[in-house]
Amino acid sequence: MNAPIIDPLQGDFPEVIEEYLEHGVMKCIAFNRRGTLLAAGCSDGSCVIWDFETRGIAKEFRDKDSVAAITSVCWSKNGHRILVAAADKSLTLWDVVTGEKIARTTLQQTPLQARLHPGSSTPSICLACPLSSAPMIVNLDTTTITVLPVSLSDTANGVAPPSRNKFSDGSAPFTPTAACFNKYGDLVYVGNSKGEILIIDHKSIKIRGIVPIPGSSVIKNIIFSRNGQYLLTNSNDRTIRIYENLLPLKDGLKALDELNHESAEVDEVEKLRAVGSRCLALFREFQDSITKVHWKAPCFSGDGEWVVGGSASKGEHKIYIWDKAGHLVKILEGPKEALIDLAWHPVHPIVVSVSLTGLVYIWAKDYTENWSAFAPDFKELEENEEYVEREDEFDLVPEAEKVKDSDINEDEEIDIVTVEKDSAFSDSDMSQDEIRFLPADPCQDVPEQQDGHVLSTSKLGHGSQSLSPLSEEAGQNGHLTNHESSPLEEDTGGTRLKRRRKSSEKVLDFEEENVRKPQSKLKESINLLKTVK
């Protein structure tokens, strides 16, 4: 689509389902940094890499040691590695180009979400959020696990909390906790069941700030925008909240140390809350005040200008889109299938959603062309009109062009080698070796045999028991009753099957005439012999 003919007044968000992807039962999805590749985790334990430009499968990873459903997929910053979390409590790190397994470790609990460290090109450290345990930092090289605190009482004695399935009083099961890295990975933001955002230094395992959520509801999701300037939380009170990040994007830990020294509070809790109030500021709140729906997989758009969230209601596939000012701009209604995951394309106004049936739907913008952008005097005609041409319209050099002086320097050399930085990526110079597309890996053709389509009886099994899928279906429906109606005909030897093609009526008439001609010639020769005698 040409950019000049797109109406600039249209909203830059998706509107209709463009197409869908189908491969097994897909459960979770993730784009690479440029949006050229889409990873999808399946229920059979495989991870599929789709080429998003061609909508074809570029690579498939399958761990022989694991057949459990995939719960989370995450790309490294340069796209060379991908982290896969499965329901069998395993974390597997894959090399995207070679398809080799780099590392694999098993946790004590099922990881619902796993994220690679964003500050390294070859990360081996990840943040895992298990089902019934506190978030943890996992070193995939050394298989060491560091459990992060989820409340201030966990770090009162300076020791990280142990993994547990119940609270200290044993009254209720442990609530899954959401966590994420900041843009450069020096801090971890944890949302706990008390309605608090904890800012944690994961190297020293210390809480550096606390931000209370209005209503003190359980935080189910927490995620940063692509540029790191905004933080999104999804709480159990059916509200999506946006916080503005007041810390610098780089050296955020150093800024936290300065805030701690400046704080004059004596009480530890009040001091951490005072620091937290200078780290995050509430920016917007989003909710459906009428239906009061719970939200599923909320996230930012690639440029951070839009916020999207899926309805968690069963039997409906609704996607809500808000602008950053807090206005609901669009509700996308899909098939009557529950939505389980959602992702916004990093560059284009495209949303990809996963349904409960395992299909991946691609939502794109329904563009309307504005042809008047080519010329200010262009107008669209509703009916045919007789056109009167100008006198100089078809001259080689129109008079209007003669007046204009060309400002183009034809002797200037054009640089076609230097790669300009993409404005959509603030640190594009850090990923020069980034993978954008996977090389094609064509399958080798099976060599054909000289005598046509030949199948041995060992592959066919016991004669009539082995039929093609079409033959089996036809036999079950009662349509295949004799060998004449079957496209396959067995030889007298019984050792091979040949494909039989039904002749047309013209061919049958032609063959019949050829049979009659030799007979007539034979009769003429017999009569000629009789006359000679």
Identify which has the larger pLDDT, 496 or 414.
Answer: 414
| 360: phi then psi, degrees, rounded to nearest 5 | -110, 115
Distance CA 97, CA 438 (A): 7
Sheet holding 16-21, edge to edge: 16-21, 360-364, 351-355, 339-344
Percentage of residues in the chain having pLDDT higher than 70 = 69
Burial of 488 (0-12, 13-18, 19+ CB in 10 A): middle
**pLDDT tens readout for residues 201-238:** 999 999 999 999 998 899 999 999 999 999 999 999 99
Task: Kindly report the average pLDDT of the chain as a whole number.
Answer: 78
Dihedral angle sign, alpha carbons of residues 241, 245, 250, 253: negative
Grade residue 175 by pLDDT with cuts at 50, 70 and 90: low
Over residues 34-61, the mean pLDDT reads 94
Neighbours of 170 (CB within 10 A): 9
In this predicted structure, the answer to whether residue 280 has a pLDDT above a threshold of 90 is yes
Grade residue 140 by pLDDT with cuts at 50, 70 and 90: very high
Grade residue 133 by pLDDT with cuts at 50, 70 and 90: confident
Please answer whether residues 50 and 38 qualify as being in contact, where contact means their C-beta atoms are separated by less than 8 angstroms: yes
In this predicted structure, the answer to whether residue 194 has a pLDDT above a threshold of 80 is yes
Neighbours of 201 (CB within 10 A): 18
Chain position carrying tokens 């530890």: 268
Does pTM top 0.85 for this prediction?
no
Over residues 273-290, the mean pLDDT reads 93
Over residues 475-489, the mean pLDDT reads 38
**pLDDT tens readout for residues 437-450:** 887 666 566 665 54
In this predicted structure, the answer to whether residue 145 has a pLDDT above a threshold of 60 is yes
In this predicted structure, the answer to whether residue 37 has a pLDDT above a threshold of 90 is yes
Distance CA 329, CA 321 (A): 6
**pLDDT tens readout for residues 328-374:** 999 999 999 999 999 999 999 999 999 999 999 999 998 777 666 66
Percentage of residues in the chain having pLDDT higher than 90 = 49
In this predicted structure, the answer to whether residue 471 has a pLDDT above a threshold of 50 is no
Q: Which of 357, 342, 383 minimizes the C-alpha distance to 234? A: 342
Over residues 298-309, the mean pLDDT reads 93
Dihedral angle sign, alpha carbons of residues 33, 38, 39, 40: positive
What integer pLDDT is reported at residue 512 of this predicted model? 63
CA 74 to chain centre: 10
In this predicted structure, the answer to whether residue 7 has a pLDDT above a threshold of 50 is no
Distance CA 169, CA 185 (A): 34
